[in-house]
Amino acid sequence: MSGPDNKVFQGHRGIGERVEGVALVADDNFSARYDLNRIEGTFSRPQHKLHGENYVGKILVLNIAKGGVATAWMLREMASRGMAPKALVLNAGNPIMAQGAAFANLPFVDRFDVDITSVIKTGDRVIVDPDKGTVEVAG
Amino acid sequence: MNTPSSGNNPISLDHDITLTSEEKAMLAGELGPARRYAMEQIIRVGGFFDAKDCIEVSQVHIMADPESLGLAGVEFLESLCALEADQRRVRVPTVTDPRGVDFEAYKRLGQTEEQANLERRAITAFKAMGIMMTDTCINYQTIMPPVRGEHIAYGDTGSSIYANSVMGARTNFQGGPSALAAALAGRVPRYGYHLDQCRRGSRLFDLSFRPDDLSEWGAVGGIIGGFMESYWDVPVVTGVDGTPTSDEMKQIGAALASYGSTALFHMVGVTPEAPDLSSVFDGPPPKSISIGRAEVEAFLASYRPSDDQLDVVVFAAPQLSLVEMETLAGLLDGKKINPSVALLVATSPEIKNACDRMGFTAKIETAGGIVLKGVCFYQMYAREIGEAQGWKRLMSNSAKLVNIIGGYGYEPLLASMEKCVESAVKGRIIT
């Protein structure tokens, strides 16, 4: 999907390998333990803006990493069952999200020069390139 | 079985982190695959946060309940503990956060043999690595409180924020895979709250009232947490009338960490790095946000349900101190919990032993409560327990628990310990 009309957003260098997929976006925060039903692969926290949405295989684009430490283990466990998102894109991660992504080898990029949740829409096709720290949206 | 490597493919480890010869040897696998895993994890996370080098830590606290680990995590631990003793043992004193199964209570709670077996396998692996099974999130109250300036690796948000803020020790949130790496390598990447410049205040809050009880201290932490915009925000609290107790600091900290992903706060005149405002802010402090009784009332009201149906009362998150256990035993002494309601309380194995010896356990259990040791409610398959027991409406004095448990299918309510006990006895919510 690389092309001249694509928009590229620059973040900080991330973790994991380059992937392409479909975005699931909300101006809300993220914790695997607080927000997800990891068995069914859906957002289960009633207050979450993605409540009821299936995240499996999606490029999750959210605001900041919240909640506790469990996500550090959970991302790999979710990936082992084929129930993980394809990549994580946040405005601001935290150590737990980075540790979990490193352990799971799950692509993760954060710290953009724009509010990333406002420039990517659910359903957009995006490329996440952690080595370059970029997210590219099909034009 | 998983290999003790970070991933299936050779990983790119281009990085700008300066390593000692010992760290290079660990990374090259010369001290075995467990320490190679540890250095890979350290470098990947340290690179993400622009760490320049590593720093040695003196103690490690690791969170690894079986629900979080899953089968994949347990198999990973087993791959480490299959190594020779000199390759698998941790290098610094390492203790554990609450577990997921209390083997004396799991059948009563409706936990399964599958869950218990996964827990047994995890414990066997941890013991083989030389990890001490303290099973507590209040290690800073009960095991080994850290010292100001001590670099540590704490694996629970509540223990981390307490150690950073109240003790003046230095840690980032070290989730399980990184706490394990810290234990195996004896170091962490130097970034975040290990650095002076990250420990400065960024937001200012003025407490215009004295919280009445632990649930209100938690509510204050929850409110401040809601203002936090990232892990790097450091709230500073002024106006606290009199020094809070350890349990009060525990509640405000645990709630702040839970609602805000916050790892450090300063309380002017109370915490060690904040004798005054000028010590925590460079230049003039930001505009202060006032938190009063009205804000706390609104916070409590946001969880209040439309009817008085009650299924379960839980005291946990963090585990209760000896003093909290004494208070609870006093409130329940001579009372009977309504048969339609369950009352659970979680504490550490050490405190449970003390409570057995001092008669607190007997008072709680005679009233119909269940005293759990070495576990915490949200770390013990809360969703599955709730489904097995038909629990939905949950009452607690822990803001942290109330924040977490909604995602597990519960309808939580925050109230004081007194109101929680009164409600458990009446069999319906009293507020």
- Looking up residue A35, the CATH number of its domain turns out to be 3.50.30.10
User: Shortest CB distance from B176 goes to which of A37, A67, A72?
Assistant: A72
Q: Does A82 contact chain B (CB < 8 Å)?
A: no
Q: Name the average pLDDT for chain B.
A: 95
Contact list in A for residue B392 (CB cut-off 8 A) is none
Instruction: Select from B159, B192, B225 the last residue of a domain.
Output: B192
On whether both B156 and B234 belong to a single domain, the answer is: no
Domain count, chain B: 3
Q: Which is nearest to B397 in space by CA: B247, B222, B216?
A: B216
The answer as to whether A45 is a domain residue is: yes
Model confidence band, residue B11 (pLDDT cutoffs 50, 70, 90):
low
Here the contacts of B333-339 (C-beta below 8 Å, separation 24 or greater) are: B333/B363, B333/B367, B334/B367, B335/B367, B335/B421, B335/B425, B336/B367, B336/B368, B336/B425, B337/B367, B337/B368, B337/B369, B337/B424, B337/B425, B338/B424, B338/B425, B338/B426, B338/B427, B339/B368, B339/B427
On whether both B94 and B148 belong to a single domain, the answer is: yes
Q: Does B100 contact chain A (CB < 8 Å)?
A: no
How far apart (Å, rounded) are the C-alpha atoms in residues B248 and B144? 19
Q: Does A76 contact chain B (CB < 8 Å)?
A: yes
Contact list in B for residue A71 (CB cut-off 8 A) is 175
On whether both B152 and B294 belong to a single domain, the answer is: no
Asked if pLDDT for residue B7 goes beyond 60, the answer is: no
B130 beta partners: none
The answer as to whether B9 is a domain residue is: no
Contact list in A for residue B406 (CB cut-off 8 A) is 45-47
The answer as to whether B119 is a domain residue is: yes
Lay out the sheet containing B312-320: strands in order across.
Answer: B370-373, B342-347, B312-320, B393-396, B411-414
On whether both B177 and B285 belong to a single domain, the answer is: no
Cross-chain residue pair A77–B257, CB shorter than 8 Å:
no
pLDDT at B10: 45
Give the tens place of pLDDT for each residue, A36-92: 999 999 999 889 999 999 999 999 999 999 878 999 999 999 999 999 999 999 999
The answer as to whether B1 is a domain residue is: no
Size of interface A-B (CB pairs under 8 A): 143
Q: Does B71 contact chain A (CB < 8 Å)?
A: yes
- Domain with residue B158: its CATH number is 3.30.499.10
- Closest residue on chain A to B97 (Cα): A69
Asked if pLDDT for residue A24 goes beyond 70, the answer is: yes
B21: CB partners within 8 A, 6+ apart? none
On whether both B53 and B184 belong to a single domain, the answer is: yes
Range of the domain at B274: 200-300
User: Shortest CB distance from A73 goes to which of B45, B73, B408?
Assistant: B73
On whether both B342 and B208 belong to a single domain, the answer is: no
The answer as to whether B347 is a domain residue is: yes
On whether both B313 and B279 belong to a single domain, the answer is: no
The answer as to whether A29 is a domain residue is: yes
Asked if pLDDT for residue B265 goes beyond 60, the answer is: yes
The answer as to whether A128 is a domain residue is: yes
Domain count, chain A: 1
Range of the domain at A106: 8-137
On whether both B180 and B281 belong to a single domain, the answer is: no
- Shortest Cα distance from A105 to chain B (angstroms)? 6
How far apart (Å, rounded) are the C-alpha atoms in residues B148 and B275? 14
Cross-chain residue pair A102–B229, CB shorter than 8 Å:
no
Contact list in A for residue B159 (CB cut-off 8 A) is none
On whether both B157 and B27 belong to a single domain, the answer is: yes
Q: Does B73 contact chain A (CB < 8 Å)?
A: yes
Instruction: Select from B176, B192, B208 the last residue of a domain.
Output: B192
Cβ neighbours, 10 Å, residue B293 = 13
Asked if pLDDT for residue B401 goes beyond 90, the answer is: yes
Q: Provide mean pLDDT across the span B310-326.
A: 98
The answer as to whether B10 is a domain residue is: no
Asked if pLDDT for residue B2 goes beyond 50, the answer is: no
Tokens of B391: 């629990």
- Shortest Cα distance from B231 to chain A (angstroms)? 6
Q: Does A71 contact chain B (CB < 8 Å)?
A: yes
- Shortest Cα distance from A24 to chain B (angstroms)? 19
The answer as to whether B162 is a domain residue is: yes
Tokens of B186: 């004896």
The answer as to whether A2 is a domain residue is: no
On whether both B158 and B76 belong to a single domain, the answer is: yes
On whether both B284 and B353 belong to a single domain, the answer is: no
Instruction: Select from B170, B192, B214 the last residue of a domain.
Output: B192
- Shortest Cα distance from B326 to chain A (angstroms)? 28
Q: Does B29 contact chain A (CB < 8 Å)?
A: no
Lay out the sheet containing A59-64: strands in order across.
Answer: A7-10, A134-137, A125-129, A19-25, A59-64, A87-92, A108-109
Model confidence band, residue B6 (pLDDT cutoffs 50, 70, 90):
very low
